[in-house]
């Protein structure tokens, strides 16, 4: 069975995880991602893959040669996650280099100049000769110090990094720069109401976005159960006043390590750490569809970037999309007539596969099945949920179930 989707980014081969370096160039959406091309046959050697698609219409992803490989002294144990910066005509990628020596992890923050990313070769990538720009974690923090994300800050720039303190507490730190080359450590972001935070021993993959007059901080607290959520409020220097406490970003079972852009596009990893055992052949994991995000009533709302996906019955990478108004239960049926997945919306709640109901404003649901990737959008954008579903035969479509 071929579970490869048509419109969700999956690697040509090997293992995919976190999305990295998302940016738009004209009508082209560029998405980099953590890639182990020889998984599972060779030891882990994480670099960055690169895919592109159209912003304006759903088109299959175009795959380009990998952009980064872990082949320098400061990143020889992995080119870990990071983001992209578009500064006029210049495009830069920032990533965490991982080095493990003598039982110690040394994280470094590095940048890469991108030349002609939309060209026929998929870009030329030149590491800064001054790397590492930030050679290690500051005093008081462990080697779990990674995932730089950079946004504009007045006439300069700010970088947030996920971190762990020496007493194993998850946190987020900030740097500032005027030129994207020299970075000054500012310290930890401080929150006025810690009771609205999720805890966790490490906070990964932070995204700090300004939406109108509010800030949205997305991050993934590592704990016994890895999850991803966001808080909403206002940031004054390093002081964050919380107006909405930690709220799940996605209610599915396969969502982690998202990356968001200043212009309101988000993708997440449809996978989880240490969950690589799937029936796909020669590759594993996908990203979500690109999502449009916006803030409304202090909730982060999400919807697919594209208004609809073409039906793909009978093609490699089978799929089915349907918009449903009103209450009811709907099942994803394969060609043999078997039910692979069920969504129920009733009495102001939504539930997946008979699980616990989740509060959900009434409204239209969009149900998407694209290969093994299943996504649900409901509640006017307040609810999104991502799942990996493996049927015995291609999808027949969505059917009502009373």
d(CA 85, CA 113): 10
Q: What is the pTM of this model?
A: 0.95
Q: What is the pLDDT of residue 318?
A: 53
Q: What is the pLDDT of residue 368?
A: 92
67, 190, 246, 280 from 159: Cα distances, Å: 22, 15, 21, 37
Query: What does pLDDT average to in each consecutive run of 10 residues of the chain (402 residues)?
Result: 89 97 96 96 93 93 96 97 96 97 94 95 96 98 98 95 98 98 98 96 97 96 91 98 98 97 96 90 96 97 86 51 84 90 94 95 88 94 96 86 78
Neighbours of 162 (CB within 10 A): 25
The answer to whether 349 touches 362, Cβ cutoff 8 Å, is no
| Residue 213 designated active-site | no
Cis peptide before 383 (omega within 30 of 0): no
Q: What is the pLDDT of residue 315?
A: 41
Q: What is the pLDDT of residue 126?
A: 98
User: Residue 359: is it exposed, middle or buried by C-beta count within 10 angstroms (0-12/13-18/19+)?
Assistant: exposed
Which domains does the chain possess?
Answer: 14-304 (2.115.10.20), 319-400 (no CATH)
Q: What is the pLDDT of residue 308?
A: 73
End-to-end CA distance of the chain: 30
d(CA 206, CA 213): 19
What is the 8-class DSSP label of residue 7?
S
Q: What is the pLDDT of residue 326?
A: 77
Closest CA relative to residue 143, chosen from 94, 180, 187, 106: 106
């Amino acid at each position: 069975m071929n579970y490869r989707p048509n419109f969700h980014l999956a690697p040509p081969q090997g293992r995919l995880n976190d999305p990295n370096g998302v940016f738009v160039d004209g009508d082209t959406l560029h998405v980099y991602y953590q890639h182990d091309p020889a998984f599972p046959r060779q030891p882990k050697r994480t670099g960055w893959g690169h895919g592109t698609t159209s912003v304006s219409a759903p088109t299959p992803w175009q795959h380009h040669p990998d952009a980064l490989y872990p082949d320098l002294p400061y990143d020889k144990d992995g080119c870990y996650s990071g983001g992209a910066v578009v500064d006029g005509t210049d495009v830069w990628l920032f990533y965490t280099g991982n080095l493990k020596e003598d039982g110690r992890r040394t994280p470094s923050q590095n940048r890469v100049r991108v030349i002609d990313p939309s060209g026929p070769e998929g870009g030329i990538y030149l590491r800064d000769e001054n790397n590492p720009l930030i050679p290690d974690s500051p005093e008081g923090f462990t080697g779990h110090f990674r995932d730089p994300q950079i946004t504009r800050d007045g006439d300069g720039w700010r970088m947030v990094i996920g971190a762990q303190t020496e007493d194993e507490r998850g946190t987020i730190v900030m740097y500032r720069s005027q030129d994207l080359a020299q970075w000054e450590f500012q310290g930890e972001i401080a929150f006025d109401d810690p009771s609205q935070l999720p805890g966790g021993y490490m906070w990964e993959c932070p995204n700090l976005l300004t939406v109108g007059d509010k800030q949205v901080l997305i991050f993934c607290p590592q704990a016994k159960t890895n999850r991803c959520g966001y808080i909403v409020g206002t940031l004054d220097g390093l002081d964050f006043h919380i107006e909405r406490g930690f709220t799940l970003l996605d209610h599915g079972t396969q969502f982690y390590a998202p990356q968001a852009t200043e212009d309101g596009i988000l993708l997440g990893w449809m996978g989880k750490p240490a969950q690589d055992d799937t029936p796909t052949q020669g590759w594993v994991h996908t990203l979500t569809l690109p999502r449009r995000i916006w803030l409304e009533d202090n909730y982060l709302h999400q919807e697919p970037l594209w208004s609809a996906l073409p039906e793909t019955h009978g093609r490699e990478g089978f799929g089915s999309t349907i918009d449903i108004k009103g209450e009811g239960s709907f099942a994803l049926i394969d060609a043999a007539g078997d039910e692979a997945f069920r969504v129920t919306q009733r009495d102001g709640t939504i539930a997946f596969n008979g699980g616990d109901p989740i509060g959900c404003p009434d409204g239209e649901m969009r149900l998407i099945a694209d290969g093994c990737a299943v996504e649900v959008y409901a509640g006017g954008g307040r609810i999104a949920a991502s799942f990996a579903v493996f049927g015995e035969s291609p999808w027949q479509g969505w059917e009502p179930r009373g």
